[in-house]
Amino acid sequence: MFDLLNSIPLEAFVGLGGLGVGLVLFFVLTQLDERATARSSLRQLDDYEVENQRERELLAPIQDRLLAPVLAGFARFGGRLNPPEYVERVRNKHVQAGIASAERVERFLAVRILGFAFIPLWLALTFLVNPLDLGGFFLWGFALTGTLIGAIGPSSRLNGKVQARQKSIQRALPDVLDLLVISVEAGLGFEQAVDRVITNVPGELADEFARVLGETQAGSSRADALRGMQNRVDIPEIRSFTLAMIQADTFGVSIGRVLRAQADEMRVKRRQRAQEKAQKAPVKMMIPMVLCIFPALFVVVLGPAMINIAKTL
């Protein structure tokens, strides 16, 4: 029996072991996928109620049950380790990105702390272990990449969300102002025109106008509601629109005339931004052309001539 086992090569045992581990992982992942599908289906039922507390907690996604407690623990330390001014800036950034949840702010601070804690581990793995057997420039580039991801990765992702939302609002603002002008000139009041915009033009800007309308209906003044939208969005076009509307309310100027002037100005600004991007395109195309296209073109055009010159000499 032992002779028979000794005659079997080691690669066969390794293959059988890997096959067994793969089957176990496949079975476990299949069961988790089936349970996740069942839980998502149960969550879609409005009248479904779970009496057992354990089953109610198991209905939550697995990442919420595993990662949320860890991030919550780091979030409590994140608010203490970071200065209050930075925490306030992060909170304002989340508001500008359209994220009003305080838990997301705490989660961001926790991820930022984990990112800085990840840097020494990454450097130790890169220089001491070096699993990819890199050397020279590639080794330092690999270390610098992980360091940048840990240091500025969360902040750059949040800034990207803010910029994407601001660009979406900038693109939608001229069309929204045109609809406001048409509605006001047709005889509707400003609040009714804003309600028409919210209904017909969904998007980030419509959500901001919906919040403005809700604040005015709750008792806030139109000027305060518009200033709140200006602080949440923080783009020059919204600041200009807010200032024009506040001045119109203060001095009794016709809102329709002010909206018409603002709509024309926003369309001019959008045309100028498009022209500016068009003027920048040739400059940005120079880098890939010089590095990628011109060398290949030189090889095709000058290659045969250089070969003939070499043979002649």
Asked if the model's pLDDT at residue 33 lies above 60, the reply is no
Q: What tokens were used for 311?
A: 């043979």
- 292 by Cβ neighbours in 10 Å (0-12 / 13-18 / 19+) ranks as exposed
Residue whose entry in the numeric block shows the structure tokens 């005889």: 187
Q: Which domain holds residue 142?
A: 66-165
Tell which residue, 223, 211, 213, has the closest CA to residue 95: 211
CA atoms within 13 A on the CB side of 119: 14
Tell me, yes or no, whether 252 and 172 share the same domain: yes
Q: Looking at the 3D structure of the chain, how many domains does it have?
A: 3
Asked if the model's pLDDT at residue 193 lies above 70, the reply is yes
Tell me, yes or no, whether 79 and 145 share the same domain: yes
Confidence of residue 60 (pLDDT cuts 50, 70, 90): low
Does residue 4 sit within a domain?
A: no
Tell me, yes or no, whether 153 and 177 share the same domain: no
Point out the domain boundary residue: 272, 287, 302: 272
Does residue 222 sit within a domain?
A: yes
Tell me, yes or no, whether 77 and 174 share the same domain: no
- The pLDDT value recorded for residue 67 is 62
Tell me, yes or no, whether 73 and 30 share the same domain: no
- The pLDDT value recorded for residue 283 is 85
Tell me, yes or no, whether 98 and 192 share the same domain: no
Does residue 3 sit within a domain?
A: no
Tell me, yes or no, whether 115 and 156 share the same domain: yes
Does residue 312 sit within a domain?
A: no
Confidence of residue 121 (pLDDT cuts 50, 70, 90): confident
Tell me, yes or no, whether 200 and 263 share the same domain: yes
Query: How open is the CA angle 147-148-150, to the nearest 5 degrees?
Result: 65
- The pLDDT value recorded for residue 233 is 87
Say which CATH number the domain at 201 has.
1.20.81
Point out the domain boundary residue: 117, 143, 165: 165
Does residue 33 sit within a domain?
A: yes
Q: What is the pLDDT of residues 285-307, one digit of tens each?
A: 888 888 888 888 888 888 888 88
Tell me, yes or no, whether 175 and 196 share the same domain: yes
Point out the domain boundary residue: 165, 180, 212: 165
Dihedral (CA of 126, 132, 133, 136) sign: negative
Tell me, yes or no, whether 174 and 160 share the same domain: no
Tell me, yes or no, whether 171 and 266 share the same domain: yes
Helix (H) or strand (E) holding 33: helix 10-43
Asked if the model's pLDDT at residue 32 lies above 60, the reply is no
Name the percent of the chain lying above pLDDT 70.
73
Dihedral class, residue 169 (left if φ above 0, else alpha if ψ from -120 to 50, else beta): alpha
Tell me, yes or no, whether 73 and 146 share the same domain: yes
Does residue 212 sit within a domain?
A: yes
**Which amino acid is located at 92 in the chain?**
N
Does residue 303 sit within a domain?
A: no
Q: Which residues contact 177 (CB under 8 A, 6 or more apart)?
A: 241, 259, 262, 263, 266
Does residue 16 sit within a domain?
A: no
**Which amino acid is located at 230 in the chain?**
Q
Residue whose entry in the numeric block shows the structure tokens 């001019």: 268
Dihedral (CA of 264, 270, 273, 275) sign: negative
Confidence of residue 198 (pLDDT cuts 50, 70, 90): confident
Confidence of residue 47 (pLDDT cuts 50, 70, 90): very low
